[in-house]
Amino acid sequence: MTTLLATPAGWPRVLTAGFGAADPADLDAAIAAGAFEGLKRAIRTHGPTGTIALLRASGLRGRGGGGYPTADKWHACATADGTVRHVVANGYEADPATHIAKALMEERPYAIVEGVAIAAFAVGATESIIAVRAEYGEAVRRLQEAVARAEAAGHIGANVLGSGHDIFIEVRPLRGAYMIGEETVLLKALEGKRGQPEQRPPYPTERGLWDRPTVVNDVVTLGAVGWIVANGAEAYASIGEAATPGTVLVQVAGAVEEPGIAEVPIGTRLRDIVDLAGKMASGHRLKAVAVGGVTGGILPPRELDTPYSAAALREVGAHAGSGSILVADERTCVVDLATLLTRYCADEACGKAIPCRIGLRRLAEIGERAVSGHARPADPTLLADLSTDIVASALCGHERAAVTPLTSVLRYFRPELDEHLLRSACPAGVCHPIGVTSAGSAT
Ligand SMILES: Cc1cc2nc3c(=O)[nH]c(=O)nc-3n(C[C@H](O)[C@H](O)[C@H](O)COP(=O)(O)O)c2cc1C
Ligand code: SF4
């Protein structure tokens, strides 16, 4: 079971209410806790257009990384040319060290089923898919059980609540590489094809699964939808920041005593999020937080007052990414960490775009030269120039995000980077075989 971190009394629980239930796939217990109330209201009170308007008023934005307004995506799909539409819930969770979607799918399967059903009703989709990373066996089983029980009880299936709408949902396990998390690759995988990201437009809302209008939403985005429709747009809009309301799931791990997942209002300071995971490992001091998973920005302690929101994180050169926050103490070499992340991103790039395929490899090589004591005189300049060029030519978003670990080290940990690049030394004493020096704190 996932460790759910305790949050201060009074913090809203949109996504995590009900975590820790004895049997999360128990339909009666879920109904008693309010499951399918939102779907009922969508069908009986709001209708498809009213449901999209309600979502717009709530301010809900996608939690899969892009932060696109959910209502705009649904409206685009609902009004696109075509007779057959689909909703695809993205439960692939590409980042291998993040387990936020996994936790939600395991603990709140009905919240996801309901979110998909409301989206399907709003856009007029009859057949929808919850795509789940195959390694998440428990999540797959619970979602399959939830779908079967909800259909048997008439909450989804044919002619839901006498509305004339058929809402069928399939749970599809998918096995593959990191890039399957990207929506156009995910859709190809669901069609049984190998895929590379497609240039957009056309967006999946116009031409998605089997070339039909398709909504692709993160399971975390969809997990909030039932609550929003049941409790009203205002209730949701009053949580978090006015520009980006609501709550988000974060995972705090690394050099903390109690790693786990927490639900936090958007705009919560990084410092307060890190504090939820308890003290630093005994006798050690916080050196950096890597915010955003494998493509995350590595920030020094002085940026801990940054609010956890897309705009504020962008300002400091990070992004929410997968929702992971990795806490590092002085035993971590940030150059080594950034290099490992960059190598992972380079290896996972699909290869379609040359600046990404070649550029990320060259970037990883600069890091690898630095951590092995073989830096070249031109490497500091090359690192800065190459990162800028890679971002300028981004095709699918991966390359834009993948430069973040090393560029954040360039921005915040220049003395430690220079020790590696110019003096073949590692202040943290991590990089082998190069020596230890006294420099290394953030600039
Ligand atoms: C390399 C890459 C990996 C991605 N991985 C995920 C993922 O694991 N889960 C996810 O929901 N979105 C992921 N996305 C974003 C999706 O392409 C898409 O924008 C998202 O699923 C849309 O849902 P939302 O509007 O609810 O955020 C990824 C994007 C890229 C470029
Ligand atoms: S940017 Fe990279 S990962 Fe994205 S399509 Fe191009 S090569 Fe593939």
Task: Look up tokens 């939830």; give the residue.
Answer: 146
Is 308 buried (19+), middle (13-18) or exposed (0-12) by CB count in 10 A? buried
pLDDT tens profile 155-187: 999 999 999 999 999 999 999 999 999 999 999
For residue 398 and ligand 1, the question of a CB distance below 6 A is answered with yes
Give the residue whose CA is nearest to atom 12 of ligand 1: 64
pLDDT-derived band at 198 (thresholds 50, 70, 90) equals: confident
**Ligand closest to the CA atom of residue 399:** 2
Q: How would you list the strands of the sheet with 127-133, edge to edge? A: 168-174, 127-133, 86-91, 214-218
CA of 402 to the centre of ligand 1 (A): 14
pLDDT-derived band at 390 (thresholds 50, 70, 90) equals: confident
What pLDDT sits at residue 171? 98
Tell me what the mean pLDDT of segment 405-432 comes to. Answer: 92
Tell me what the mean pLDDT of segment 404-418 comes to. Answer: 95
Pairing label, strands 286-291, 214-218: unpaired
Q: Quick one: how many helices (H) and strands (E) in the chain?
A: 19, 9
Pairing label, strands 247-254, 297-299: unpaired
What pLDDT sits at residue 377? 85
Give the residue whose CA is nearest to atom 14 of ligand 1: 182
For residue 293 and ligand 1, the question of a CB distance below 6 A is answered with no
Q: Which of these ranges, 119-128, 218-227, 414-423, has the smallest mean pLDDT?
A: 414-423
* Token output for 224: 């909030």
Phi, psi of 251, rounded to the nearest 5 degrees: -120, 120
Q: Which of 182, 198, 266 to mutate to test the pocket of ligand 1 (most atoms within 8 A of CB)?
A: 182
47 alpha carbon, distance to own chain's centre: 30
The DSSP line for 263-287 is EEETT-BHHHHHHHT-SBSTT--EE
Pocket of ligand 2 (CB under 6 A): 179, 196-197, 349-353, 356-357, 394-396, 398-399
Give the residue whose CA is nearest to atom 4 of ligand 2: 396
From 61, 43, 95, 57, select the one nearest 224 (Cα to Cα): 61
pLDDT-derived band at 438 (thresholds 50, 70, 90) equals: very low
**Ligand closest to the CA atom of residue 346:** 2
For residue 351 and ligand 1, the question of a CB distance below 6 A is answered with no
What pLDDT sits at residue 283? 84
pLDDT-derived band at 391 (thresholds 50, 70, 90) equals: confident
What pLDDT sits at residue 440? 42
Give me the percent of the chain exceeding a pLDDT of 90. Answer: 86
CA of 93 to the centre of ligand 1 (A): 8
Cα(355)–Cα(361) distance, rounded to whole angstroms? 10
Contacts of 372 (CB under 8 A, 6+ apart): 431, 433, 434
Structural domains of the chain sorted by starting position, each given as residue range(s) with its CATH number in brackets: 27-237 (3.40.50.11540), 245-331 (3.10.20.600), 333-443 (1.20.1440.230)
pLDDT tens profile 286-301: 999 999 999 999 999 9
Contacts of 275 (CB under 8 A, 6+ apart): none
What pLDDT sits at residue 395? 77
From 91, 187, 191, select the one nearest 146 (Cα to Cα): 91
CA of 400 to the centre of ligand 2 (A): 9
* Token output for 383: 């690192």
Tell me what the mean pLDDT of segment 71-85 comes to. Answer: 97
pLDDT tens profile 104-150: 999 999 999 999 999 999 999 999 999 999 999 999 999 999 999 99
